[in-house]
Structure 1
Amino acid sequence: MDRRDPARRGTGTRDADGMAVASFLLGLPGLLVFNLVLGPAAVVLALVALARGTARRGRALLGLALGVADLLILVALITADHGVIWSFG
């Protein structure tokens, strides 16, 4: 019998599901903008969600793939342009 508070049951899975969705939602725009920030955030959230046993495993794996793609795009742009391509002026 589970002795935890009934209102708190299943919150670990729900939190992991939220992290899986968040990793996907951060990795997707990271392909275009702020990939230096959004890529690692997507990777970390996806790995934590997978470690916690999310029910949305496919979404977490997609977020992981998008986060890695964000970082690969950043590396490609930096090596092609010999620096960061953003200009603020």
Structure 2
Amino acid sequence: MRLTAPPSRRTGRQDTEGMAVASFVLGLVGLLVLNLVLGPIAIALAVIALRRDTPRRIRAFLGLGLGIADLVTLAVLMSVHGTTSWSVWGG
């Protein structure tokens, strides 16, 4: 017994649009907090959305770039401060 509608081409495209937008948002937020967690999630969502041929390719590429920037930011902060977090107050 099926409780949901069968998948269609339209729902698949909407899913990839959501993944592209989520990748962008998570990558953007990841620049401020939780770089180690949100960066890889943003990268994974962007890659999945791009492989599934999302109509929001630019948003997915931005999410991919921001996810990579999250990890680069984390690496720089770790090398400069010797920690995985940073303080707004600089202390």
Task: Answer yes or no: same fold by TM over 0.5.
Answer: yes
TM-score for the superposition, normalised by structure 2 = 0.83
Match of 2:34 in 1: 34
Aligned partner of 2:74: which letter?
Answer: L
What is the CA deviation profile of residues 32-51 of structure 1, one whole-angstrom value per residue up to 9, with x for unaligned ones?
11111010000000000000
Q: CA deviation at 1:6?
A: 7.9
For structure 1, the 5+ residue unaligned runs are none
CA separation in 2, counterparts of 1:6 and 1:70?
37
Superposed CA RMSD: 1.9
Q: Size of the alignment, in residue pairs?
A: 83
Match of 1:78 in 2: 78
For structure 2, the 5+ residue unaligned runs are none
TM-score for the superposition, normalised by structure 1 = 0.84
